[in-house]
Amino acid sequence: MTGPSLAQVADDARRAFASTVDSSAADRARWLIAVADELDADASELIALAAEESHLGSSRLTGELARTTGQLRLFAHAIVEGSYLEATIDHPEPASTPPRPDLRRMLRPLGPVAVFSASNFPFAFSVAGGDTASALAAGCPVVVKGHSAHPRLSLRTAALVVRALDACGAPDGVFGHVAGRATGVALVRHPAIRAVGFTGSLHGGRALFDLAAGRPDPIPFYGELSAVNPVLITRAALDARAGELAAGLAASVTLGNGQFCTNPGVVFAPAGSGFAQLVAAAVGTPDPMPMLSEGIAAAYADRLAELAGHDGVSIVAGEVVQQPGAAAPVVASTTTSTVLADPSALLAECFGPAVLVVEYTSVGEALDAIRAIGGSLTATVHAEPGEELRDIVAVLGEVAGRVLFAGWPTGVAVSWAQQHGGPWPSTTSIHTSVGVTAIRRFLRPVAYQDAPEAVLPPELRESNPLGIPRRIDGVLTLP
């Protein structure tokens, strides 16, 4: 049995936009909360399906589903609060040069959005995940392309989303689901689609990015693609707490069998410190665990073989030859001089439970190697109180969207201040895909000049009937 065609789903989304573009924040908040409630009510079945298809385990998946419904409710709160709209009013000023007319500006929804589900987060970055939540919150209909790694979960989640939206009176076509690689390509090309959200591989994301840019009417492609998430450990930090740092790194690298986009893949430690051996001891010799898919497991094994075959790289712990469909941790080591001589080979992402420990003789040398990484989602420094960090922070801020000074990058809080995105190749834009400001991806500014009060959106009317924060004549004004 097959579902509706892409043409039908996309056309339904286009028609739905005529309603969602002018929908109230209160209505959209009801839609989001209804979806969250529906998913929570069906949690047992969803978690069982996800565990069967992803091998991630019910404990991890229970937390991920809670995160998913929590972010739906967070967006519901945010859109009613209203500051995300950046509502701005400049009253007329005839005496200014040039004379200023009445100008009123706010962010408006782009139109139907295509969302590509991710394999490694079957809830939080999937059918009802952050891209879907933020697009619906913005007032954009969504067409989700389900991931082949969890097809039954995708279909079940989509059915629950549709049921929740129908029950609370959302417009027909506000949410649709399609499947298949060829369908995904056609989805990006479809003229009804006005933006794309994607989480996945660098290769696949780049191909879709090029399709989006190559359309007769290019559209924004918001892809989260690849990251090695460098970590720099100072000598003082290692002298003070080497065992603690090794244990923390080992736990982060192996969390979820290493299948996190924030996995710390390259760690810089002082030469002669023996840190790689400490990490190897902390990792131990766990049994291989199933990966999300056969393809991901094969790519992990191939990448390990590339690392192990490189001159100057030593395997400190683990086996390069992996079991089919599974992965076991690997700790490798090298030096900054080796990395700087061939950065493209040594600083590529290894998606799985592996880490490359790079020994440095000076912090400046380590920073040169970190610059060679390019863009990353995160960058971390472990130092001791009182150490001078300005040069380190400057470089880490150049290459990453989130800079950590404690802990490890796995685990991404969903909040107003979160930034999950960085320079290429980690993402294709400057925006975040996690947190409230992820909604900004699916909005565009519109200014109204000398508009009659009756045609203005309520958010820009003089009386501020919705009671939202606005900037009026340059002054931020709270309700």
Residue 322 DSSP label: -
Residue 192, both tokens: 């009804």
Question: Which residues, listed in sequence order, are joined to residue 105 by a DSSP beta bridge?
Answer: 88, 447
Q: Are 283 and 253 in contact (CB under 8 A)?
A: yes
Residue 137: its H or E element:
helix 130-138
Q: Which of 224, 349, 359, 459 is catalytic?
A: 224
Our CA angle for 357, 361, 362, nearest 5°, is 110
Determine if the peptide bond prior to 99 is cis (ω within 30°).
Answer: no
Rounded Cα distance between 422 and 374, Å, is: 10
Say whether 261 is catalytic. Answer: yes
Say whether 64 is catalytic. Answer: no
Q: Are 10 and 193 in contact (CB under 8 A)?
A: yes
Strand order in the sheet with 195-199: 175-178, 142-145, 113-116, 195-199, 221-224
Rounded Cα distance between 91 and 87, Å, is: 13
Q: What are phi and psi of 396, to 5 degrees?
A: -60, -35
Our CA angle for 115, 117, 118, nearest 5°, is 135
Rounded Cα distance between 197 and 445, Å, is: 19
Q: What are phi and psi of 454, to 5 degrees?
A: -65, -25
SS3 178: strand
Helix, strand, coil percentages for the chain (3-state, nearest 5): 45, 20, 40
Q: Which of 38, 53, 261, 359 is catalytic?
A: 261
Question: Which residues, listed in sequence order, are joined to residue 115 by a DSSP beta bridge?
Answer: 144, 197
Question: Which residues, listed in sequence order, are joined to residue 317 by a DSSP beta bridge?
Answer: 331
Q: For residue 367, give Cα distances in angstroms to 304, 373, 454.
A: 24, 10, 57
Annotated active-site positions, please?
Answer: 224, 261
